[in-house]
Amino acid sequence: MNRKSIKLMISLIVISVVSCDEPETVVTNYVHPDGSVTRKIEMRNLENKFDKSGIQVPFDSTWTITDSIEIEKEGDTIWVKRGVKNFINIDEINLSYKADSGANKEISRQTGFRKRFKWFNTEFRFSEKIDKKMKFGYPVSEVLNEEELKYFYSPEGLKHDNDWGPDSLKFRALNDSIKLKTDTWTAKNLVAEWIGAFSELTREKTGSDISHESLKAREDEFVRIIEANHENLDSLWSNGILLREFIGESNALRYKYEADSAVEIAAGNFWVNFKEYSVRILMPGKLIGTNGFIDSSQVLLWPVKSDYFLTEQYEMWAESKISNVWAWVISAIFLVFVLSGVIIRIMKRGS
Amino acid sequence: MFFTLLLIKRLNNGIQSSILIDLKLIEECRGGNLNNFRKLIELTSPFAYSVAFRMLGDDDQAKDVVQEAMVTVWKKLNRIKTAEVYKTWIYRIVVNKCYDQMRKRKRNPEFVADGKTWEIISNKFSEGPSAALENGETTKIIALLTERLSAKQKVVFVLSDLEGMSNDEITEIAGISKSAVKANLYHARKNISEKIEKYLK
Amino acid sequence: MKPEKRKYDKIVEMLRTSKPTLNSAEEIEREVIRRIENTSSMKSGLTEMLGFLFGWVYIGWVRRSLITASIVLVMIFVYQQGMILKRIDVISRQTIVSSRESEISPSNEIERILMNYRNPLRKFPSKNTTISEKQMQELLEYVKELQLKYKDLEDLIEGDPELKSMIERKLRDINNTKSNL
C-alpha cells in the first residue's frame, strides 16, 4: 500500500475542509475568583477579512472590538482584530457556543467552572470541553505512546523548537512515526465508524454473519482492503465491489441503502468543518494543575485541532488555588488558645 | 562573766518564747483569712521591727521593711509548714531587705556618728546596768560602733550579740557558712572593742 | 576578763536590753492589709479572666474534644499543603513554550519564509498562497546565491578525486542512518 498516497489524500481532504482565509486566532480566558470570565480574542490575518462565518469562536458586536495593523520584520502587513468581553458566568459562554454561527458551529463546546472551599485554600477549576465527533472511533492514545502523544498535542511553536533544536533528528523521527501511525488510525476510525453506523441501521434486520461483532472482528481486514485500493475507492464503492468484499453479494444487494447511509454518516462525523485556533487560560491565584502547556508568562496554552476531538472528548483544564488568609489566622488563634490551656493545666498540676 | 552569760541565756530564752507563733494561726491564714493574718502581723511586727531598726537605725525604713516582709509572707503562706520555718523566714526576709538598704546607704550615708555619742555612752555607763536607751540613742550608738563594719559584719553582730541568736541560726538566716559567721563576728567584735578602748575612758 | 572586753559586754548588754519600741503597730498592720488587698484585687481580676477563658481545661470531655480538634486541624493542614506542593512541583517540571501565542522563530529569514509554505494548516492553505514581493525577491536572491555556491563546490570536488570519493562515502553513511531511523 502506498502510505504516502493515503496520507496525501487525507491531508488534502482535511486541508480543503480547513479552507481558506481563516485568521490565526487565539482566545484567552481570564478566569476570576467569582466565576466570571473575561475573554479576549486576537485574530491575525494577511488580509483585512474577518467574516463572522470564518471566525473560530463566537464573536459579535457585543464585544469591545479594536482593529489595528502590524508590519512584521519581513515586511508582511498583518491585520489584527482584537475583542474583549466579560462573561458573568460560564453559562453565558455556553449559551454563546450553542448560538454560534461561526466557522466551528458544528462542534459541541462547553466551558465548566468549579470553586471549592477547603478551609485553608479555595480551589478553582476551569475547563473547556469539545465533544467527540466519531461515535465508534479509537482514542489516539491507543496508537501512540506517551512521548508521541506529548508531541502530538504540542503547540506548533514547541514542535518547531524541537524540530530545529539540538535533538532535531529525534523529534523529526518522532514526527514521522506519528504521521505513519495516525494515517493508519485515521483509516481504522473511518472503518470503525462505518461498521458502527451500519450495525445501528441494520440492527433488527441482519443475520449473524453481518452482526456488529462479526464485522468488528473483520475490521483490520477491511482496513487492509481500503489501503490496498485507495486509488479507486470511489468507483469501487459506487460499483458495489467493495461492499461485496465486506459483507458478501447477497447482503450487499440487500443492505446497499443502509451501507451508503452508513458511509454518509461516517464521512459526516469524520470530515468536520473546523478551523483551528489556540486557547489560553489565566487562572486566579497559584496554579496547581493543568493538562496544558505553560508559557513563559505563566499563561496556559492549548492548540485546538480537529484530530484532538475526532474520537474522544478534548478537555482543556486548569486548577489553581488562593489561600484563605482569614482561615489561617483563625486556625492559628485556635491552636494557640488550646495550647495555652494545655500548658496552664500542666503548670497548675505541677505546682 | 558568769552573770553576763546567764543574763544572755535568759534573754535568749525570752526572745525565743516571744517568737513562738502558733502553726494553727498560720494555717488559718492560708485560706485567705485576713483577720487571722492581722493577728499574725501583731505578733510578728515587734521582733521583726527590732531587728530592722537595729540594722537600719531609722524608724520609717524599719517599718517599711516589716511591711514588705509581711506582704511577702502572705504571698507564700503555703510554703510554711512549721513555726520554726516561719521564724526563719521572717528573719531572712527582714535581714535581706535591710541588707539591700544598707548597701544602698553605703553610697549615700544618712547618719554619721559624732563625738557626742560617746558622751551618751559614758553617761549610761554611770547610770548602771539598768540604764535604758531610747530609740534615738540606740540608733546613734549602733551607728557609731558599726561605722567601719561591712554590711555582713553588721548583720552578724546584730543577730548574734544584740538579738542573741546562735551561729547555726545566723547561718540559716543570713545564708552564709558557719565559718563565715565566726569570721565576720570576730572582726566585728574586734573592731568595736578597739573603738571602745580608744574613745571610751 | 580584760577591761576592754568588760566595756564591750556592758555596752552590748545595754543595747540588747533596750529593745527598740514599735510605736505604731496598727499603722504597720493597716499598711500591710492595704497592700495585700490592692494586689488581690488586681490579681483577682486577672484570675477571673483566666478562669473564664481557660475554665474548659478542667472539664474533661471539653478539653479532650478541643485537643482532638486541634490535632485534626493540623493534620488537615499538613495533608492539604503537602498535596498542593506536590502538584506545584509536578507543574514546575513541565515544558515551557515560548510565548506570543506559540509563534515560531526560525533561525533565519529564509527558513521563516519557507515555513509558511511547509505548514499549510498554520496560516495559508495550499489553494491560496500570498507572499509579499520583498519575500519573493529575497527568495530568488537566495536561490541564486545557492546556485553559485553549489557550482563552486562542484568544481572543487570534481578537481580532487580523493575528496570526491570521501564525500560520496560520507553521504552513503548518512543515507543509511536515515533509512535506519
Partners of residue A81 on adjacent β-strands? A43, A67
List all residues of chain C from 8 to 47 with a beta carbon under 8 Å from chain A: none
Q: Looking at the domain that runs over B1-108, which CATH code has it been given?
A: 1.10.1740.10
C-alpha cell at C176: 543509511
d(CA C103, CA A39): 20
Residue C44 lies in a domain: yes
C121 touches chain A (CB under 8 A): yes
The answer to whether domain B1-108 and domain B113-201 are alike in fold is: no
Q: Give the closest of C5, C10, C18 to B132, CB-based.
A: C18
pLDDT in tens, chain B (201 residues): 444 444 444 444 444 444 556 777 877 787 777 888 888 888 889 889 999 999 988 888 999 999 999 998 888 887 777 777 888 888 999 999 998 888 777 655 555 556 677 777 777 777 765 667 777 888 888 888 888 888 889 999 999 999 889 999 999 998 899 999 999 999 999 999 988 888 776
Beta-carbon count within 10 A of B89 CB = 17
Could you write out the DSSP letters of every residue in A119-173? TTEEEEEEEEEE--S-SSPPPGGGTS-HHHHHHHTS-HHHHHHHHTSTTHHHHHH
Q: Kindly state the average pLDDT of the residues C90-110.
A: 55
Confirm if C27 and B161 have CB atoms less than 8 A apart. Answer: no
C-alpha cell at C19: 529593745
Structural domain boundaries in chain B: 1-108, 113-201
C84 touches chain A (CB under 8 A): yes
* Predicted confidence (pLDDT) per residue in A265-304, tens digit: 888 888 888 899 999 999 999 999 999 998 777 789 999 9
C-alpha cell at A35: 466565576
d(CA A213, CA A204): 14
Poorest-pLDDT segment among A223-232, A319-328, B184-193, C56-65: A223-232
pLDDT value, residue B16: 45
Mark residue A290 as left, alpha or beta (left: phi above 0; alpha: psi -120 to 50; beta: remaining).
beta
Q: What are the start-end ranges of the E strands in C26-128?
A: 96-97
Chains touching B (at least 3 CB pairs under 8 A) are: C
Q: Kindly state the DSSP code that residue C95 receives in the 8-state scheme.
A: P
- Which is more confident, A197 or B133? A197
Q: Give the closest of C7, C23, C27 to B200, CB-based.
A: C7
- Percent of chain A surpassing pLDDT 70: 92
C-alpha C65 chain-centroid distance: 35
Could C104 and A288 be called an inter-chain contact, meaning their C-beta atoms sit closer than 8 Å?
no
Q: Looking at the domain that runs over B113-201, which CATH code has it been given?
A: 1.10.10.10
CB < 8 Å to A295, chain C = 96-99, 102
Confirm if A326 and C36 have CB atoms less than 8 A apart. Answer: no
0.90 surpassed by complex ipTM: no
Decide if pLDDT at A63 tops 60.
yes
Q: What are the start-end ranges of the E strands in chain B?
A: none
Rounded to the nearest 5°, which phi and psi values hold at A64?
Answer: -90, 115
Could B138 and C15 be called an inter-chain contact, meaning their C-beta atoms sit closer than 8 Å?
yes
Structural domain boundaries in chain A: 21-133+275-326, 145-271
pLDDT value, residue B6: 43
- Probe site for chain B from C2, C5, C12 (most B CB atoms < 10 A): C12
CA triplet A226, A227, A228: central angle to 5 degrees?
Answer: 90
pLDDT value, residue A207: 62
Q: How far is C38 from chain B (nearest CA, A)?
A: 11
Q: Which of A240, A285, A297 is nearest to A263 (CA)?
A: A240
Of all residues in chain B, the one with the smallest CA distance to C28 is B67
Could C8 and B46 be called an inter-chain contact, meaning their C-beta atoms sit closer than 8 Å?
no
Mark residue A200 as left, alpha or beta (left: phi above 0; alpha: psi -120 to 50; beta: remaining).
alpha
Task: Give the pLDDT band (50/70/90) at residue A223.
Answer: confident
C-alpha cell at C124: 495559508
pLDDT value, residue C71: 96
- Which is more confident, B140 or A314? A314
- What is the pTM assigned to this prediction? 0.57
Q: Give the closest of A18, A42, A121 to C121, CB-based.
A: A18
Q: What is the span of the domain harbouring residue C81? A: 31-90
C-alpha cell at A12: 488534502
* Predicted confidence (pLDDT) per residue in A14-53, tens digit: 444 444 457 889 999 999 999 999 999 999 988 888 888 8
Confirm if C28 and C34 have CB atoms less than 8 A apart. Answer: no
Q: Kindly state the average pLDDT of the residues A215-232.
A: 82
